[in-house]
Amino acid sequence: MRWWGWGDAQRAQELPEGAAALLRATLGAEGGLRPPVALDQVTLPPSRLDPGGRSRLAAIVGEEGVRDDHGSRVLHAAGKGYPDLVRLRAGRPEGAPDAVLYPESHEQVRAVLEACSEARTAVVPWGGGTSVVGGVAPLRGEMDAVVALDLRRLGRLLALDSVSRLATVQAGMRGPALEAALGAQGFTLGHFPQSFEYVSIGGCVATRSAGQASTGYGRIDDMVFGLRAAAPAGEISLPAFPASAAGPDLRELMVGSEGALGVLTEVCLRVRPRPPSRRYEGMFFRTFAEGVEALRAGAQEHALPDVTRLSDEAETGVSLALTGQDSLRLRAGRAYLRARGYARGCVAILGWEGEPEDLARRRGTGLALLREHGGLSVGSGPGRRWARARYEGPYLRDWLLDRGVLVETLETATRWSRLEGLHRAVGDALRSALGGRGTPAVVMCHVSHVYETGASLYFTFLARQEAGAEIEQWQAAKSAATDAIVAGGGTLTHHHAVGRDHAPWLGAEVGPLGLAALGAVKRELDPQGIMNPGKLVTG
C-alpha cells in the first residue's frame, strides 16, 4: 500500500483525456501537477516511547514485532480519507504512532492492552488501514503515547464448519486471503467492499462494512455470528448461534465498536457456496426517481440481484464520459438510448451470482419486474466495465489529487419515503457549501445497498482544491452534508463507520442517553481509556 495514497503503483489509473478536460472546464481546475513529497520529507514528531516502554512491549510481541522506523510510522500515520491524503501528500501528517506493534495471537493482544493500560499508552487497532473517516488517526487522547496495533499476523482461517456454513477467522486476515482460503474449500464470504483488496476482516466487522454484493449476501453485520475480542479489562467471547433470545445482543455491541471498546481477534462468519456463475449487466431508467421506484419494488418483492447499483443522472453522465473514446459502439448505444427516451437517464448495474439454473430463474424474475418499472436492458457491457473497475475508484482519486482536485465520498441510508428528498438535500448542501467558496462542485450519487425498508445513498463530489485551505474547504463541505443528512432523516453513515469525522454528530443519531450507554460500556471494558481515543465514543 502506497503511504500517500492507494494500493499498488503498477495499477495506477488515470482519467481519459476527454473526461479530464471536461472536468477541468467544469471545476475551473488548472491542471498543474501537485505530486506528493518524498517519503523522507515527511515530518514526524519524535517517538514518545521510552526504551523501557519499548522493551516491555518487545517482551510481549518479540523484537521483530515492534517497529518505530520512519517508514512504518508514516504508513500508520493516517487512514485513507481525503484529509489524511492531503496531509500525507504534503508531508505533514497530524502525528504518527510512536511505534507499530505486530502481535501474533489473541493472548499477545491481551498482554499488549494490559501493558498499555499500565503505561498510559493509547492503542489504535489497525487492520487494513483503509478508514476514510479518521478511524485510525494516531490520537493519544489523554494518554502519554500512542501505538498502532497492526493485526496482519493474525491472518489465518482457523476453522470451517461446512455443514453449518460457519468460518472462524482471525481478525487480521485480508479480504483476498480469506476468499482464497474459503474458495479452496468451495466457499465464499461474499463481502466485497471497494477496499476489498486491502481490508482486514476484523476491520470490516469493527466498522460495519457493506460489500458491493450486499443485496445478495448481506452486510458484514449479517454475516457475523460469533466473535472474540480482547479488551483492557479482559476477554469478550461470544459463541456463534443461529439466533438467540438471551438478552441484549452483545455481538451487536462489538460489531461496529471501531476499536474503541477492544480489539476483535477472531470472528465467526456465515459463508456460502462459491457461485459457479456470475452475470453483470446494465439497465437504464429514464430518471433516478424511476430507478429508485424500481429498486424499491425489487427489494420488497425479494427479486433483486446480488449486486444492485443505480447511478443518478450526474453519475451516469460521468460514467459515460469515463468509458473514454467515443467509439462507434458507444455512439450506437447512445443513439439507442435517445431513441427510446433514455437519453438523460440513469444506469443501473445488476449482478447475479449463483448456480446457473438458479441464476437464470432469478434473473428472469428480476429483470421482468425491473422492466415493468421502466427499466431498459442495455446488455452486459456496462456490467463488465463495472466489474473490471470495481476496486479502482481509489486509484483514480490519487490521480485527481495529483491534479489539485478535491475528491471525496460520503454516504448515508434512509427509508424509501425519504430517499429522494435526502438525495436532493445532500447534493444541494454540497453544491452550496463548495460553490459558496468559489469552488463549484460536481456532485454525483448512487444507490448501492438496497433493503425492504430503504436504501443507501453514496455521494462522490469534486471541486477545485483551495490551495493552502484544503482541509477547511473539505470540512465545510463535510459539515454541510452531514447536517443535511441528520436533518433529512438519514443515518450518519451506512458503511463507513463513525471514526473521528462523524463523532461530533453521533449524539444527534443515538441521543444523549445512547451516548451515555456507550460511554458506560467503554469505561467498563477500557477503564483507562486507552482504546482508539477520539473515535466513536469521545465524551
| Integer Cα distance of 477 and 106 in angstroms | 41
SS3 for 143?
coil
Which residue, 368 or 469, is less far from a second copy as judged by CB?
A: 368
Shortest gap between Cβ of 229 and a second copy (angstroms)?
9
Assess contact for 37 and 5: CB atoms under 8 A. Answer: no
Which residue, 55 or 162, is less far from a second copy as judged by CB?
A: 162
Shortest gap between Cβ of 455 and a second copy (angstroms)?
6
- Distant-in-sequence, close-in-space partners of 327: CB < 8 Å, separation ≥ 6: none
Give the count of alpha carbons within 13 A of 395, CB side only.
Answer: 15
Shortest gap between Cβ of 101 and a second copy (angstroms)?
22
- Distant-in-sequence, close-in-space partners of 188: CB < 8 Å, separation ≥ 6: 179, 182, 271, 272, 273, 274, 275
Which residue, 54 or 496, is less far from a second copy as judged by CB?
A: 496
Which residue, 399 or 505, is less far from a second copy as judged by CB?
A: 505
Which residue, 243 or 339, is less far from a second copy as judged by CB?
A: 243
Q: Directed axis angle between helix 288-300 and helix 356-372, to 10°?
A: 130
Shortest gap between Cβ of 292 and a second copy (angstroms)?
11
Paired strand residues for 464: 405
Which residue, 50 or 241, is less far from a second copy as judged by CB?
A: 241
**Cα-Cα-Cα-Cα dihedral sign, residues 480, 410, 268, 525:** negative
Shortest gap between Cβ of 20 and a second copy (angstroms)?
33
Which residue, 320 or 492, is less far from a second copy as judged by CB?
A: 492
Shortest gap between Cβ of 315 and a second copy (angstroms)?
21
Pick from 198, 196, 253, 245: which is nearest to 229 by CA? 253
| Integer Cα distance of 446 and 463 in angstroms | 18
Assess contact for 77 and 95: CB atoms under 8 A. Answer: yes
Shortest gap between Cβ of 192 and a second copy (angstroms)?
16
Buried b (16+ CB within 10 A) or exposed e, 305-334: bbbbbbbbbbbbbbbbbebeeeeeeeeebe
